[in-house]
Amino acid sequence: MATKDMVPDIRPRAGHDLLVGIDGVLPRLSAPTESAMLAESLMTALVRTAACGDICRVRQQADAIRIAAAHLRAGEPEKADPVLRKARAGLLPGSH
């Protein structure tokens, strides 16, 4: 197969699902009644990332998602916020 005939890789970059999950949770952290649901959303993003085989490529951010979800389950959204913001920064293009 010649180089020009190669099929381009159109998969989202590693951690895309984590980034989408974080972006869906961050604006809602001020609603304490939603903490359990937000933790579940983060874990869903983590599962999607694992299903794509990307966990090994975004290990630090995946660990941060687990920590943030634990904070949310404990009713501590103020502790989850900085963890999620740091993970988000590590997932943005150009951060690697």
Whether 78 has a pLDDT exceeding 70, the answer reads yes
Q: Is residue 65 part of a domain?
A: yes
Nearest 5°: phi and psi at 87? -65, -40
Q: Is residue 76 part of a domain?
A: yes
- State which residues form the domain around 26: 13-91
Whether 2 has a pLDDT exceeding 60, the answer reads no
Residue scoring higher pLDDT (31 or 11): 31
In angstroms, the Cα distances linking 76 to 19, 29, 53, 81 are: 21, 10, 30, 9
The model's pTM is 0.83
| Overall number of domains in the chain | 1
CA separation for the pair 28, 94 (Å, rounded): 26
Averaged pLDDT for residues 72-86 = 96
